[in-house]
Amino acid sequence: MTQHNFKKKFGQNFISDKNLLDAICDDGEVTKDDLVLEIGAGMGSLTTALSSHAKKVKSFEIDRDLKEHLSSLNLPNVEFVFGDVMDFTLKQIENGLEDGYKMVANLPYYITSPIIFKFLKSDNLTSLTIMVQKEVAQRIIAKEGDKNYGVLSIMIAFYGNAQIKRIVSRKLFYPQPNVDSAIVNIKVERDRFEGVDEEKFYKFICSAFSMRRKTLKNNLLQSGLLQECLARLSPDLLTKRPEEFSVSQFVEIYLKLFG
Ligand code: SAM
C-alpha cells in the first residue's frame, strides 16, 4: 500500500506481529466452523490471520482510505463493510451471522465500552476476544471489593465470564500508543439471571454507582427511588457501598425492588 495517513481520531494503532496475530486467533478459539466479526480492519493484518483460521469473517472499517488496500488483499472468505459500526443496527451488522458468531477485534480505544455494550445485547454473539487498553481490561475482569470494580465489570459479569488472556506491550503497535494493552476473552452466557429487564438493570447499576463513596441507600435515594421502596431491603445492605456487592447480589437487590 502507498503510505497510509494514520488517523488518531479513529484509534488507529495497528499490529503486524505474526505470532501475536495467531495468538489472538487462538485466544478466540477460532476454528474453521466459525463465523467471525471484526470491528476495525485497519490494514487487514488481523483480518488476514482470521481469514485463515475461520470459515467466514465480516469486518467493519470506518476509514474509507483503507478500502483500496483491503480489497487488494483478495481474501475470499472476508466481507468488508465500510462505515461507522455504531451507525448500523445489530440486525444489519449480523446479516449473514445469524447462526452464531464470535467477535475478534483489536478495538478502537475511543469507543471500547460503547461497542461492548452494543454487542453484549446480541442473541447471536457467543464470545468476544478483544484487544483493549490494559486499564480497561482490569476494569472488565474486576470483582467486588477491587478498586477497578464498577458498572463495566458488573454488566460484563451479568452477561458472561471474562478473563485476561495476555498483556500486550505498547511496543507491538504502530504508531506506538502511550499505554499497554490486553486481550480479554468474554464468553457470553445468556440468561444467567432470569426475570431481569436488561435496560432497567443497567440503569439501576448506574444509579447505584453514581457516587462510589456513598452508600447504596444514598445513591438510590438520589436517583429518585423512594424510601418506602428501599424499606424492602435489609438495613445492612443499605449501609454498604456499591463496590461491595457482587453481580448476583445486585440482581437479588434489583429483584426485591423491581421484580
Ligand atoms: N485490526 C487492525 C490491527 O489490529 O492492526 C486495526 C486496529 S485499530 C486499533 C482500530 C481500527 O478500527 C482502525 O482501523 C480504525 O480506523 C477502525 N475504527 C475506528 N472507529 C471505528 C468505527 N466506529 N467503526 C468501524 N471501524 C472503526
In tens, the pLDDT along 131-179 reads: 999 999 999 999 999 999 999 999 999 999 999 999 999 999 999 999 9
Measured CA to CA, the distance from residue 184 to residue 26 in angstroms comes to 12
- The domain segmentation of the chain, as residue ranges, is 8-188, 198-258
Residue 33 burial (C-beta neighbours within 10 Å; 0-12, 13-18, 19+): exposed
Please give the backbone phi and psi of residue 105, each rounded to the nearest 5 degrees, phi first.
-160, 150
The reply to whether ligand 1 has any atom less than 6 angstroms from the CB of 41 is yes
The reply to whether ligand 1 has any atom less than 6 angstroms from the CB of 97 is no
Average pLDDT of the segment spanning 180-202: 93
What pLDDT, on a 0 to 100 scale, did the predictor assign at position 2?
59
The reply to whether ligand 1 has any atom less than 6 angstroms from the CB of 108 is yes
Check residue 55 and report its DSSP letter.
S
What pLDDT, on a 0 to 100 scale, did the predictor assign at position 182?
98
In this predicted model, what pLDDT tens digit does every residue of 2-23 receive, in sequence order? 588 999 999 999 999 999 999 9
Q: Is the pLDDT of residue 1 over 80?
A: no
Q: Which fold has domain 198-258?
A: Helicase, Ruva Protein; domain 3 (1.10.8)
- Cα–ligand 1 centroid distance for 252 (angstroms): 38
Per-residue pLDDT band for 194 (boundaries 50, 70, 90) equals: confident
The reply to whether ligand 1 has any atom less than 6 angstroms from the CB of 253 is no
Q: Which fold has domain 8-188?
A: Rossmann fold (3.40.50)
- Cα–ligand 1 centroid distance for 247 (angstroms): 31
